[in-house]
Amino acid sequence: MIEHNEPLAFRVRPKKLEEYIGQEHVLGKDKILYRTIKADRLSSLILFGPPGCGKTSLAKVISETTKYKFYKINAVTSGVAEIKKVIEETKNFMLNPIGKSILFIDEIHRFNKLQQDALLPFVENGTIILIGATTENPYFEVNKALISRSMVIKLEPLTIENIVTILENALTRKEGLGEYKIEIREETLRKLAVISNGDVRTALNGLEIAVLTTNMNQQGKIEITDEIIKNCIQNKKAIFDKNGDSHYDTISAFIKSMRGSDPDATIFYLAKALEGGEDPLFLARRIVICAAEDVGMANPNALVVANSAMQAVHMIGMPEARIILSEAAVYIATSKKSNATYIGINKAIEDVKTKDTGEIPMAIRNAPIEKMKELGYSQGYLYPHDFPGHWVEQQYLPDKMVGTKYYIKDENILI
């Protein structure tokens, strides 16, 4: 067998647009992105979507098909110096007679304002065709001037069928796993696709680990079972996480420590997440969610504090953002807790989805024109502010839902 140094996910990346699987909503043959890539008439792009949805693979396809010189940098490890080098080489007629290049920036949301501003004039005058990839919403994370000069393309998590097709291709391609005699049922491949949760990189890495760590049977074949796949997906997280820690476990522990009113554990897991390279804005959003879900009406001000912290983190950035995050997280952790509104909205949504809830009472319906009032719309409505205490008894729920309770106050709710 040939020894491969690169991971399977790298080896089987598509080289042509016809090999690219998924994202039909933007890469269908009648779609503008497909046509511009095929015609090599690309304008600047910002690709955003979850990990493993094909952002880097799409950039790889473009690099293989374009006539322009293609550069790739990573925003985590690169800075203004690397950008200037690309621009100097692009403008050097001896190195680049066309005078235009494509620059792919992975994780572009991690570029600061100075780095993004350094790109802007050259994107604007056409020297650089920018392709940025990000897991974060670019409308919040990328310079508005860059956004206005780019096509923003949202990539969706790959479907189970997409991932199964990619896995099947990987099993047969020589640069993939085609040199191995592998037995794996289609149902097992499908389970692997489901477990990967739309992330094809996770699926391919799991499949490769399964093949490389499973001994041949008596028939000289590598038989991959459901159990092997399950174990290898777990192993994959340990092997490919540079810190040996699970991103999801750390975030889960952080949220549960806030919910459980333990400020020390909250600070510990916040530090662990930050040192692991977690996006501060992602953590800020978790704090906002916890303020609404777990503190709720026991201390409505918690949501105000959490939202203010998120805005401050967005404006200030690291390393000072750690202080803001710590203050907000501890405030949530030490607040009284109530999930009454969380339970209430979930129950109401379930009722709306599954029950015949009846009709809105006529008295509280909208009547923008007089003719509707003649049909009974808004007739009989009692304006609460016309009554003592600014309250009057009247029916708001549909007849079929009268008596249903969604908001049930508990001992921590003061209002």
- 246-284 residue pLDDT tens: 567 788 899 999 999 999 999 999 998 888 788 899 999
Q: Do 98 and 68 form a contact (C-beta atoms < 8 A)?
A: yes
Vertex 267, ends 265 and 273: CA angle to 5°? 100
- Average pLDDT over the chain, rounded to an integer: 88
At residue 347 the predicted structure's pLDDT band, cuts being 50, 70 and 90, is very high
Domain ranges of the chain: 23-154, 160-240, 247-334
pLDDT value at residue 415: 67
Better-scored residue on pLDDT, 141 or 295:
295
Mean pLDDT of 145-168: 91
Pick from 108, 4, 5, 8: which is nearest to 55 by CA? 108
pLDDT above 70 for 236? no
Global pTM reads 0.55
pLDDT value at residue 241: 42
pLDDT above 90 for 296? yes
pLDDT value at residue 246: 53
Mean pLDDT of 111-129: 87
CA distances from 63 to 51, 69, 90, 364 (A): 20, 8, 15, 60
Mean pLDDT of 53-65: 91
At residue 199 the predicted structure's pLDDT band, cuts being 50, 70 and 90, is confident
Tell me: the pLDDT tens digits for 178-198?
Answer: 888 999 999 999 999 988 878
Report the sign of the C-alpha dihedral through residues 139, 142, 143, 145, in that order.
negative
pLDDT value at residue 374: 78
Q: How far apart are CA 228 and CA 399, in angstroms?
A: 55
Distance of CA 357 to the CA centre of its chain: 34
Architecture per CATH, 247-334: Up-down Bundle (1.20)
**23-154 placed in CATH 3.40.50.720:** no
pLDDT value at residue 261: 96
Q: Which residues pair with 131 in a beta bridge?
A: 45, 104
Q: How far apart are CA 406 and CA 414, in angstroms?
A: 17
pLDDT value at residue 104: 93
Q: Do 327 and 309 form a contact (C-beta atoms < 8 A)?
A: yes
pLDDT value at residue 247: 67
Q: How far apart are CA 156 and CA 23, in angstroms?
A: 7
CA distances from 376 to 7, 221, 357, 364, 395 (A): 68, 76, 20, 10, 15
Which tokens go with 105?
A: 């920036």
CA distances from 283 to 182, 247, 291 (A): 42, 12, 13
Mean pLDDT of 222-248: 64
Tell me: the pLDDT tens digits for 62-84?
Answer: 998 899 999 998 888 888 888 88
The 3-state secondary structure of 114-173, one letter per residue: HHHHHHHHHHHCCCEEEEEEECCCHHHHCCHHHHHCCEEEECCCCCHHHHHHHHHHHHHC
Mean pLDDT of 370-388: 87
pLDDT value at residue 135: 84
Q: What is the fold of 160-240?
A: Helicase, Ruva Protein; domain 3 (1.10.8)
Pick from 122, 115, 132, 74: which is nearest to 101 by CA? 122
Distance of CA 11 to the CA centre of its chain: 25
Share of the chain above pLDDT 90, in %: 48
Domains 23-154 and 160-240 in one fold: no
Q: How far apart are CA 120 and CA 2, in angstroms?
A: 45
At residue 237 the predicted structure's pLDDT band, cuts being 50, 70 and 90, is very low
Mean pLDDT of 296-307: 95
Pick from 51, 58, 1, 50: which is nearest to 26 by CA? 58
